[in-house]
Amino acid sequence: MDMTRILILVGALGAAGVAAFLARGMMGGGQNQATAAETMQLTEIMVAAHAIEVGAKIVPGDLKWQGWPKSALDPSFITKEAQPQALEDAVEGSVARMQLVAGEPVTGSKVIKADGAGFLAAVLTPGKRAVGVKLSAEKGAGGFILPNDRVDVIMTRKLGNDASGNPHYRAATVLRDVRVLAVDQMSQEEGDSKSIVGKTATLELTAQQAEVVALAEAMGDLSLSLRSLTNSDQPTDENEIKGLGNEDG
């Protein structure tokens, strides 16, 4: 945990202590209550209600409003006074871009929306890469490939002409059962979307698979074959990957 987050948490503990002190003063009455209230003015900011992991979808109950000293208010904090609907908005298609601990103030850089910068980096499975593949309606299952679908990647390569002068092609499946992260700029399926004819599909791949796609794209044309969500098999065999550049031609 870096020094900035440590200081923020120290501030959170201090705010909690002040709130407890004020509550005790209210119960006991007297001049101490008025003096403390005048000295320490609180406002409500958005904080994590409990620990939230990187890439986790924000759901109701993950965030809450909490009292915070105005004197320790950072401009990046989300306040209830300035954004009263922020708590409801944050649970609509948002994810945690970094790990949050209970009571930690939430900022726009820590919790991001699906259409915000850095969203794909947050939802990527640890160790995976996001790689774009060029698409057309014919090469993208007629536009019926959507985010979170599973696809095979097929390479079509021209090997030359036969004895009669006719072109000779070969097709090979270079990757199997990979996840589609986004189609163009759309990273979540819309509720009433039936198809998306996009120019680019972003796939979630391992580092080795990313190299396979780069090599296959240089060797020929790529197309995507949509898979059934209920029929998933193992990823591309390692021998197929190694043999990608060894075709006769």
Question: In this predicted model, what pLDDT tens digit does every residue of 183-206 receive, in sequence order?
Answer: 875 555 454 455 555 688 889 999
Element holding 38 (H helix, E strand): helix 31-39
Whether 169 shows a pLDDT value over 80: the answer reads yes
Question: Which of 14-18, 60-64, 101-105 has the weakest average pLDDT?
Answer: 14-18
What are the backbone angles phi and psi of residue 210, rounded to the nearest 5°? -65, -40
Q: What is the pLDDT of residue 176?
A: 94
Q: What is the pLDDT of residue 192?
A: 47
Strands 167-183, 200-205: parallel, antiparallel or unpaired by DSSP?
A: antiparallel
Residue 61: half-sphere exposure toward Cβ, Cα within 13 Å: 0
Residue showing tokens 């009433």: 192
- In sequence order, the β-bridge partners of residue 42 are 69
Q: What is the pLDDT of residue 2?
A: 63
Q: What is the token pair recorded at 137?
A: 């309606």
Q: What is the pLDDT of residue 249?
A: 45
Between residues 165 and 65, which one has the greater pLDDT?
A: 65
Q: What is the mean pLDDT of the chain?
A: 76
Alpha helices in 73-206 (DSSP H): 86-90, 119-123
- In sequence order, the β-bridge partners of residue 171 are 156
pLDDT band at 5 (very low <50, low <70, confident <90, very high): low
Element holding 113 (H helix, E strand): strand 111-113
How many angstroms separate the CA atoms of 125 and 204, rounded? 8
pLDDT band at 208 (very low <50, low <70, confident <90, very high): very high
Q: What is the token pair recorded at 119?
A: 């969203």
- Computed on alpha carbons and rounded to an integer, the radius of gyration of the chain in Å comes to 26
- Give the mean pLDDT of 69-92: 88
- Residues above pLDDT 90, as percent of the chain: 25
How many angstroms separate the CA atoms of 98 and 67, rounded? 23
Whether 165 shows a pLDDT value over 70: the answer reads yes
Per residue in 98-136, pLDDT (tens digit) is 889 999 999 887 887 765 556 677 677 778 888 988 876
